[in-house]
Amino acid sequence: MAIERTLAIIKPDAVGRGLTGEILSRIHAAKFYIIAIKTRRLTRKEAEGFYAVHRERPFFEELTTFMSTSKVVVMVLEAENAIAKWREVMGATDPAKAAPGTIRKELGASIQYNCTHGSDATDTAALEISYFFSGSELV
């Protein structure tokens, strides 16, 4: 297994409900190394660019509105097999279908308000990291 980096976001629903600390503790407990972290309020355009793969989906408008309503926490996480590992810690997209003990199962409110984002592959992870962080922030 290789050491990988993935992009994680604590979404506006979770930041707004005061769950940032709880989610960071889970990240530490799962032994990810936080390479970079910052808070941002995404513009509508940034949210649309970030979720461009979903632009034809019926929920695109709602999703990009939601993601740009208030602050998010964006992070680069490093670990062995970090991409799949972070998706495992988050759980399935829909909290109702997520495994017990996962962030989305325990803290998520709905398929949209599901607390966190995680990259889904090596190429998207690299693209998403560069969307928010410059090279000098990643050393």
Catalytic residue numbers, as ranges: 117
- Taking CB under 6 A as the binding criterion, the range among 19-27, 35-43, 112-120, 131-139 that sits at the site for ligand ATP is 112-120
Residue partners of 54: CB distance under 8 A and separation at least 6: 60, 63
Task: Return the number of the residue (87 or 133) whose C-beta is nearest ligand ATP.
Answer: 87
User: Nearest-CA neighbor of 74 among 120, 14, 1?
Assistant: 14
Distance CA 43, CA 134 (A): 18
Task: Return the number of the residue (36 or 115) whose C-beta is nearest ligand ATP.
Answer: 115
Distance CA 40, CA 37 (A): 10
| 79 touches 26 (CB < 8 A) | no
Strand 72-80, strand 33-40: pairing: antiparallel
* Host H or E run for residue 78: strand 72-80
- Taking CB under 6 A as the binding criterion, the range among 34-42, 78-86, 108-116, 125-133 that sits at the site for ligand ATP is 108-116
Among 44, 59, 81, 130, binds ligand ATP (CB under 6 A): 59
Among 117, 125, 129, 133, binds ligand ATP (CB under 6 A): 117
Q: Using CB under 6 A as the criterion, what x/- string covers residues 64-103 for binding ligand ATP? A: -----------------------------x----------
Distance CA 72, CA 138 (A): 19
- Taking CB under 6 A as the binding criterion, the range among 24-32, 41-49, 69-77, 117-125 that sits at the site for ligand ATP is 117-125
Residues contributing to the site for ligand ATP (CB under 6 A):
54, 59, 63, 93, 111-112, 114, 117-118, 120
